[in-house]
Amino acid sequence: MKVLISNDDGVFAPGLATLAKVLRQDCEIEVVAPDRNRSGASNSLTLDRPLEAFRHENGFVGVNGTPTDCVHLGTSGVFDFEPDIVVSGINAGANMGDDVLYSGTVAAATEGRHRKFPPIAVSVANHHPQYFETAAEIVCLMVAGIAKVNLAPRTVLNVNVPDLPMDQIQGVHVTRLGHRSLADKPVKVKDPRGCERYWIAGVGEVLDREPGTDFFAIEQGYVSITPLQIDMTQYEAMDNLGSWLEGIL
């Protein structure tokens, strides 16, 4: 198995190093990741300038771009590597519910949706994880068995793992996305020159943590695996929308 590994925490992130260390035991890997933290970059591509790539002493390639840029390059063959699957992570902090709209971790996996096997995004539900190895072991098992899964084309697997030792993981739940409330208002500050600036506030509170959601699974000590689809069309709304348009256009 040839695995392209990327992330949004940056090429020097400990979660990336742990994932690469575990996967290279059984797979041929290439690591292409942003040269700095690009959390929240979502699916953005860099189109206003050329990208630079630098191969570090450990073999990892750092790119001065977004997570999507990195996977776009890594799957294109420019590094003489044609991956079977893309794995993104291990992210420090969960990517659940509405977070997936902004997540660079999920976006990097999404860019690998055309490879032979469904891409995997993996996160640990703690911003200062102690047990990256648990998430890495779970992903390693998933990659080893990925050829047997039957999923629709372009499905992305979003994996969130409790920050626990492997022997304390309660099991695995296949989940749907929960939901958060709106984030707090941006915080206005002044820089040393007196200019107004704005910090984007943190995520909103969890509103939907019902059984079956990713939030519920993590709170109960289970690994959450959510299949995500790229087609965001709301098919159930098409008839009602058509009827409404007939009356006004």
For residue 221, the model assigns a pLDDT of: 97
Q: Rounded CA gap, 149 and 64, in Å?
A: 34
Beta strands in 2-83 (DSSP E): 2-6, 28-34, 53-55, 61-63
Q: What is the pLDDT of residue 205?
A: 86
Q: Is the separation of the CB atoms in 129 and 193 below 8 Å?
A: no
Predicted local confidence at residue 235, as pLDDT: 96
What's residue 90's pLDDT? 98
pLDDT in tens, the chain (249 residues): 999 999 999 999 999 999 999 999 999 999 999 999 999 999 999 999 999 999 999 999 999 999 999 999 999 999 999 999 999 999 999 999 999 999 999 999 999 999 999 999 999 999 999 999 999 999 999 999 999 999 999 999 999 999 999 999 999 999 999 999 888 889 999 999 999 999 988 788 898 899 999 999 999 999 999 999 999 999 999 999 999 999 998
**Size (the chain), residues:** 249
pLDDT given for residue 159 in this prediction = 98
pLDDT of residue 33: 98
User: What is the per-residue pLDDT for 41?
Assistant: 93
pLDDT at residue number 183:
81
Whether the CA torsion 232, 85, 54, 62 is positive or negative: it is positive
